[in-house]
Amino acid sequence: MIFSKKIYTSGSSLSKLAWHRFRKNTIGMISLGVITIAILIAIVGYLITPDSTPMCNTQILEISTQKPGFRAEFLKIRKNQPYIHTSFFKKMISGAPSNYNLIPISDYNFENDDIDVVVFNPDGVGMTESYNIANVAMAIEDTLNTMNNNEVYYITLVGDTAHEPIEELQQEIVDNNVITRLYLLGTDQFGRDLLSRLIIGSRVSLSVGFIAVAISLIVGILLGSLAGFFRGRTDDIIMWFINVVWSIPTLLLVIAITFALGRGFWQIFVAVGLTMWVEVARVVRGQILSMREKEFVEAGVALGFSNFRIITKHIIPNILSPVIVISAANFAGAILIEAGLSFLGIGVQPPMPSWGSMIKEYYSYIILDSAYLAIIPGIAIIILVLAFMTLGNTLRDALDVKILKK
């Protein structure tokens, strides 16, 4: 058997060579896999969260601060309102309102047309509560005290009188309304599912990264290109502005922009993006200054090409490698800045979950018996930031022109 080794000829593109080098870096591939999985989880969002209500904000105080792996039994009580249908895409993006109220229970039994439940109490025996089985299984206006032939009578939401066999309603409740839930990461102080809030919180971190990097690339490439290509007074003015912005502490500048724009979801994205363009501009300026003297640029000028065409068609495509590398680092920085702002209370506002706000809400539990509440979102931030930093380092090595041309 003859084994052959794939050899890249001189005609192979630099992009294929870069991808070949990237694939050989195990840590880089793992980082890319982590980032890809995080993005997919953030996209599907509410479709995979145990709590699919908007903001994952279902509060069940009876099961507050339960440890990871906690399992509870619930009685689903139908809300007395028309059924709310949520489309697939709307649920994926913003969640679906629940049509049921959840009561944590430790035991239940039927008594004629009632169901008696013992409410879950982690400290001992809970209270006993009674619910009409028609109220549990259906959305109704009211129940009637009349029982005839083992049937329960009730008034529908439109005002009609109806009846159902008691045994059928009891069986329906056993099959559909008594459920068991597993809380893989436990619950917070309000009894909310921590895993669900962690998944939806990833959307904030990834969104602020993407939008902040996009804003920094637009502003940074624009100003860096102008400074590097035109030089002279244009370069002096832009560099003076860059140095002024560079001298202001990043977190302080973000806080100032946030106060100017107001607190909110999109304001944070814009504020973080407007503070991260400086590094991009400096890199682009330096690269264009070196490219400005190349023969192909002088040829473009001699042929009468416009400055816009020379910059966008000939120079920028040749300096994308360092820009891509710095974008990965900026992505990690944006995640950390957003987490810091949310921790300070000026980032994403409750009840919207974000990893930084989760640490803020739960950090006091570190000294108690529920340290996992703050540790888990902290670990998520570390993993995602480390993945982007490692990806940036791998891209830097893979896109190194000197190595690629060897």
Q: What are the backbone dihedrals phi and psi of residue 70, each rounded to the nearest 5 degrees, phi first?
A: -65, 140
Who's near 208: CB < 8 A, 6+ residues apart? Answer: 268, 269, 272, 334, 335, 337, 338
- CA distance linking residue 43 with residue 214, whole number of Å: 18
pLDDT of residue 373: 92
Task: Count Cβ atoms within 10 A of the Cβ of residue 373 and give its class: 0-12 exposed, 13-18 middle, 19 or more buried.
Answer: buried
Number of H helices, E strands in the chain: 16, 8
Structure tokens at 97: 């309102």
Structure tokens at 21: 């080098």
Q: At what angle do helices 194-230 and 277-291 cross, to 10 degrees?
A: 40
Average pLDDT value over all residues in the chain: 87
Calculate mean pLDDT across residues 359-381.
Answer: 89
Per the CB < 8 A criterion, the answer to whether 297 and 246 are in contact is: no
- CA distance linking residue 149 with residue 147, whole number of Å: 7
For residue 121, give the nearest of 144, 136, 104, 109 by alpha carbon.
104
User: Residue 100 belongs to what H/E stretch?
Assistant: strand 100-111
Q: For the chain, how are helix, strand and coil distributed in percent, rounded to 5?
A: 60, 15, 25
Per the CB < 8 A criterion, the answer to whether 197 and 258 are in contact is: no
pLDDT of residue 273: 85
| The model scores a pTM over 0.85 | yes
pLDDT of residue 147: 59
User: Residue 366 belongs to what H/E stretch?
Assistant: none
Reported as a single tens digit per residue, the pLDDT across 158-185 is 888 888 888 899 999 999 999 999 999 9
Per the CB < 8 A criterion, the answer to whether 65 and 81 are in contact is: no
Instruction: Indicate the domain borders of the chain.
Output: 70-183, 194-404
- CA distance linking residue 193 with residue 50, whole number of Å: 7
Residue 145: is its pLDDT beyond 70?
Answer: no
- CA distance linking residue 304 with residue 342, whole number of Å: 52
- What SS3 class is residue 313? helix
pLDDT of residue 126: 81
Q: Name the CA dihedral angle for 196, 200, 201, 206, rounded to a multiple of 10 degrees.
A: 140
Who's near 336: CB < 8 A, 6+ residues apart? Answer: 381, 385
Residue 249: is its pLDDT beyond 80?
Answer: yes
Choice among 132-146, 285-299, 347-361, 382-396 with the minimum mean pLDDT? 132-146
Reported as a single tens digit per residue, the pLDDT across 65-105 is 999 999 999 999 999 888 999 999 999 999 999 999 999 99
CATH number of 194-404: 1.10.3720.10
Residue 404: is its pLDDT beyond 60?
Answer: no
Per the CB < 8 A criterion, the answer to whether 355 and 340 are in contact is: no
pLDDT of residue 146: 58
